Structures are given as C-alpha cells and as structure tokens.
Chains A and B, each alone.
Chain A
Amino acid sequence: MSDRQANRDAPASPDQILRGLAWELKGPLTYIARLAELQRMAAGSEESGKSIESVAQEALTLLDSYLLAAQTEYGQVQLPLEGVGIGAVLYDVSQALQPFAQVSGCEVKLHINRDTAVMSHAKGLRTILTCIAQFVIDQAPAGDAPHVVQLKTYRRRSGELGAGIFADYLNCTQSDIKRARRLYGRAHMAVSLRGSSPGVRLAIAENLASSIGAELAIIRSGGQRGIGLNLVTSRQLSLV
C-alpha cells in the first residue's frame, strides 16, 4: 500500500474532523453574512438584517480564530515574528468588533498608552485580543445598555507591556482561564463544544497565547476587572 493510500485510509483524528468542520462552516456562514448585507443594500435601510450579518460575521471570526490556533499548535502555520504596535492592533480589534458590540448593547472604547511596540506576532495578537473581546462582550448582562467595554494597554510592575479588555460587569477569575485551557484539551478528545461558546473563545485565546509565548491573566485597572494579555516589551523598539 502506498503512503498516499495509507494516509487516505487512516481514520481522521477528532481534531482533524473539527478543523475540517470549521473550514466547511465558513462557506454557509459567509453566505448568510453577505446575503444579509445584500438585503440591507436592497432595502436601503442600515438596520435591516444588521444583526444577522453581525452574528454570522462573529461566528466566522470565531472559526478563523479556532483554525489559526489549531494550525499554529500543529505547526501548519508559522506566525512571523515582527515589530508590532499594540495600539494599532487594539484599534483594528475595536473597529472589527463595533457591529457585534452594537447588537450586544455594548460601547467599545480605546485607551492606548505611548510606547506600545513589541516584537511579537501581529496576526496572533489580533486573534487573541479579538477572542477575549468577544468573550467580554458576550458576558454583558441583558438590559441597562450600553455597557462600556474598554480596550486598554497597561504596564505591569515589572515594566512589561500588556493589553486587555475591561468591563464593569466582568466577573471572571484566573480559574476561569484555567478551565478554558482544560476545555481546549477536552476538544481534542471529541467532547462536544456545544453550549460553551464564550468559554471556547477564551480557550482559543489562551491556547494561541501560549503558542506565541504570551499569557492571559486577570487584570485590575481603574477599579475595573479585565482579561489581559501580558507581553514582553522590546527595548529596541521602545526607543523607536
């Protein structure tokens, strides 16, 4: 039997099935998102179909995040190490999340300090911070809208830079992050992810963060609790 034949006949692992499923789902979700947009254009109304488009778009972002985390973990994707401005990454994340935040009754605000350059993986950072922000927005309690979700950079006492997502209502602990890590492990054993959507986002962020040598942590800033991504600052880039 040739190697190719053997590969074809080998049973797919649960993880391969999950990745295949995630890839396949992108097609119908993209169709739903764009169809909703087309109907909005045809109706000439900004609001028509906006929530359908936004929810489908967030599902697409979640699938892409999962695929990036899985591909990075299995060495199928090498994220390039490059100079990254965390402020610019947070700005991109805030712009991408605006529609989802709006339909979830949240208002996204940015607080970016100076000197936010690090040597890291831009795509990985963007994906991790998007997952965390989606998780935080998803936790927003119904009613009393709008809830303010803040995307901030911060300095740890050690001088290292971090970026986090903060909200008054957030009630998340370090053990939730540990639980998210276990959830990712369970996914590899084909345990259903159904019913744990917010946890999945945190699990993907945590897994990807560990792949790029960063870590998630619960952070307090200005009386608010947030989930932060702690990074190592590049001294050379800080001088630029």
Chain B
Amino acid sequence: MILVIDPAADFGELVAQALQQISLQAVVATTAQEAILAVDSTKPELIILELAMAEHNGLEFLYELRSHADLLYIPVIIYSHIAAEELGLSKSQQYRLGIAAHFYKPRTNLKTLLDFAHELTNTKAHAAA
C-alpha cells in the first residue's frame, strides 16, 4: 500500500489512479493529521508527499513520522510544488528524514514518479524476500 499525501484531494486521487495503472494500491490523505492516522492503519510501504499543506506542513509531518521508531524506514518521495532548492535541505538531512527523492511537481511527469515508485517498492519487496 502507498500513502499519497496531498492537500488537493483531486490531485491525490489522480496520483492514486496513476499508481493503480502499474498495479500499486494507494490511499490518499489531505492533511498531516489524516496522514498520521493513515500511516497507523495501513502501514504503507511508501509515502508520496506534497510539502505545501495548510496548518502542519509536509516537513512537520516528516519529523513527526520519524519520531516513531517503527516508522523510521518507510521511504518518502516528495512530489511537491516546493522545489528542492527552495526547501534547502542538505543531503544528510534528506537521508535522516528518509527522503528517497524530491520531485518538483510542475516539472515532473507521472511517468517519472511512477518509475521511481515502482523501483522503490520492487527493491523493498526483494529485500523482504
């Protein structure tokens, strides 16, 4: 299961539908609070995250997520309207937060996102086997 976190529900659903095209099941959360509940209930193998959220932003969510020992190793793909250079995280910060990739939404098509998500979930499946 993949958790898609995006405040724009339509866009989150669109990403979820795209993931279904490559046989990956997804659920959508539109707020950080919803996302935390969804993580607890679904134990996703991957999270796709928009950083620009109202109230608690995506980065706050990530810090919250990594504060739970059992949720430390869920990989996160940032797919956001905020570009990596705007966010300004160092490589080591990205690593500590478990950010596998940061894609700037306006310039990254679905195919690129799906290819990466597919590769990550495959790698995890192989590792588990």
CA distance A33 to B110 in the complex (A): 10
Q: Is A165 an interface residue (CB 8 A)?
A: no
Residues of B close to A222: CB separation below 8 A: none
Q: B-facing mask of A72-98, CB < 8 A → 1, else 0?
A: 000000000000000000000000100
CA distance A185 to B96 in the complex (A): 45
- Is there contact, CB below 8 Å, between B21 and A41? yes
Q: Is A34 an interface residue (CB 8 A)?
A: yes
Q: How many interface residues does chain B have, given as a range?
A: 10 to 19
Q: Is B17 an interface residue (CB 8 A)?
A: yes
Which chain A residue has the least Cβ–Cβ distance from B7?
A27
A7 to chain B minimum Cβ distance, whole angstroms, is 20
Q: Interface segment, B40-48, B63-71, B101-109, B119-127? A: B101-109
CA distance A61 to B63 in the complex (A): 31
B103 to chain A minimum Cβ distance, whole angstroms, is 12
Q: Is B37 an interface residue (CB 8 A)?
A: no
Q: Report the number of A-B residue pairs with Cβ-Cβ less than 8 Å.
A: 45
CA distance A38 to B109 in the complex (A): 10
Q: Is A30 an interface residue (CB 8 A)?
A: yes
Residues of B close to A61: CB separation below 8 A: 106-107
Of residues 1 to 25 in B, which have CB atoms within 8 Å of A's CB atoms? 8, 10-11, 14-15, 17-18, 21
CA distance A35 to B111 in the complex (A): 12
Q: Contact partner of B81 among A26, A41, A96, CB < 8 A?
A: A26
Q: 15 A-B contacts, Cβ less than 8 Å apart? A: A29-B106, A30-B11, A31-B10, A31-B14, A34-B11, A37-B111, A38-B17, A38-B21, A38-B110, A41-B18, A41-B110, A60-B107, A61-B106, A63-B106, A96-B107
Query: Can you list the 6 inter-chain pairs with the closest CB atoms, starting with the nearest?
Result: A60-B106, A37-B110, A30-B106, A30-B105, A38-B18, A31-B11
B117 to chain A minimum Cβ distance, whole angstroms, is 14
CA distance A42 to B106 in the complex (A): 21
Q: Contact partner of B109 among A26, A37, A42, CB < 8 A?
A: A37
Q: Is A138 an interface residue (CB 8 A)?
A: no
Residues of A close to B110: CB separation below 8 A: 34, 37-38, 41
| CB within 8 Å for A26 and B106 given contacts A37-B111, A41-B21, A42-B21 | yes
Q: Is A64 an interface residue (CB 8 A)?
A: yes
Q: A-facing mask of B84-124, CB < 8 A → 1, else 0?
A: 01000000000000000000011101110000000000000
| New A-B contacts (14) at CB < 8 Å, excluding given A34-B15, A37-B111, A41-B111 | A27-B81, A29-B106, A33-B106, A34-B11, A34-B109, A37-B110, A38-B17, A38-B110, A42-B21, A60-B106, A61-B107, A64-B106, A64-B107, A96-B107
